[in-house]
Amino acid sequence: MSSALRIAAERLTARAAVGLPRPVQRLAFGARIRRDGLVLAPEVQTLVKLERLVRAGGVDAVPLPEARALLRHDAAVAGGRPRAMAEVRPVDAGGVPARLYVPPEAPTPSPLAVWYHGGGHVVGDLDTHDPTCRWFAREAGVRVLAVDYRLAPEHPFPAAVDDALAAFRAAAANADGLGADAARIAVAGDSAGGNLAAVVAQLAAEDELAPAFQLLIYPVCDYTREWPSYAHFATGFFLTRAEMRWYRGHYLPDAAAASDPRASPLARDDLTGLAPAYVATAGFDPLRDEGEAYARRLRAAGVPTTLRRFGGYCHGFASVLGLGERFLGPARETAAGLRWGLAERP
């Protein structure tokens, strides 16, 4: 079976399973999973059980090239068919490869989100997050500039940070060429990309063209410790504690780097003056507690911050966009947060 046929078959199977009537799902996939006071959404539980049937381990259990191929495969299955754009083109963002997405009927100029993809700073690329960028461009009504930052272990910390910051500053300086409103440029990202978005929001806060908004989706915020959610959701919910340790070991060159605010944005002492933020977390996620701690720190520093926990969901919901309507609520709400954050105000 060709790769394309296999992806289509897996997507069809997953869509059929998560679309089953709730009583049938309970019979097929067991009683509702409850942990730490939360109940896993039925459609998520179905997908979790399907993954357990077809996969023995995660990215930490295979060689690095296979880990990267695994994410590309999963992204193609979960992301669905590409959503139409008015324009998609490559961009040189200050020497960093990037890809611009222009949604249908976008005015010129329009808001822009500089997007950093997830993948633990080790896996992921422009193609794995192509469905996510297209989704947020259309749903939020903004242009999206996806950044192809360098990955570890070939390029360990702080290479990704350097690329992320250079790309944001290039986008701000070349807003006209991107059809963007220089006063309405956000930094955005999921997981490791949320980490980079938070770090860029800190490092560029005093730039003449600073970020106007930050969208942080289940971000990595603290490499210095494992928060309680690491123990609550160590296995069984897509992202595991072992995978996070694997990512950390590849990304950081030594233990001391974890305390650098460019690696752990929660480690920065002063968070005053940063761009308004929307922080989205998933209830069944090892990264939940540190993301929420960062949101509370932002609020305490006087930064307007929306914290939204999607209690019944797991890490990765912003990439599960092609498996039916039942999965789309959190992504729609998060996209609405981005739209609101970049809305033109008198």
pLDDT in tens, 62-93: 999 999 999 999 999 999 888 999 999 999 99
From the candidates 125, 232, 315, 319, which is the catalytic residue?
Answer: 315
Residue ranges matching CATH 3.40.50.1820 in the chain: 77-306+314-341
Q: What's the DSSP call for residue 86?
A: S
Give the chain's mean pLDDT.
94
Query: Quick check: is 2 catalytic?
Result: no
Structural contact between residues 305 and 272, judged by C-beta atoms closer than 8 angstroms: no
56 has pLDDT over 70: no
**Would you say the C-alpha torsion 332, 275, 214, 287 has a positive or negative sign?**
negative
**Would you say the C-alpha torsion 191, 214, 150, 253 has a positive or negative sign?**
negative
Residue 267 C-alpha from the chain's centroid = 20
51 has pLDDT over 90: no
Q: What's the chain's length in residues?
A: 346
From the candidates 191, 229, 264, 319, which is the catalytic residue?
Answer: 191
Structural contact between residues 303 and 271, judged by C-beta atoms closer than 8 angstroms: yes
346 has pLDDT over 70: no
**Burial of 174 (C-beta count, 10 Å sphere; 0-12/13-18/19+):** middle
CATH 3.40.50.1820 is held by the domain 77-306+314-341: yes
Local structure of 44: helix, strand or coil: helix
pLDDT tens, position by position, 179-237: 999 999 999 999 999 999 999 999 999 999 999 999 999 999 999 999 999 999 999 99
From the candidates 222, 285, 289, 319, which is the catalytic residue?
Answer: 285
Query: Quick check: is 60 catalytic?
Result: no
Q: What's the DSSP call for residue 168?
A: H
Structural contact between residues 79 and 51, judged by C-beta atoms closer than 8 angstroms: no
pLDDT tens, position by position, 158-183: 999 999 999 999 999 999 999 999 99
Query: Quick check: is 110 catalytic?
Result: no
**Burial of 289 (C-beta count, 10 Å sphere; 0-12/13-18/19+):** buried
Task: Output the DSSP codes for 199-268.
Answer: HHHHHTTTSTT--SEEEEES----SS---HHHHHTSSSSSS-HHHHHHHHHHH-SSGGGGGSTTT-GGG-
- List Cβ neighbours of 167 (8 Å cut-off, separation of 6 or more): 93, 94, 96, 98, 114, 145, 147, 149
- Beta partners for 90? 99
Distances (CA, A) of 312 to 21, 40, 143, 175: 18, 4, 30, 38
Strands (E), the chain: 34-35, 38-39, 87-93, 96-102, 110-116, 143-147, 180-190, 213-217, 277-284, 305-314
Q: What's the DSSP call for residue 302?
A: T
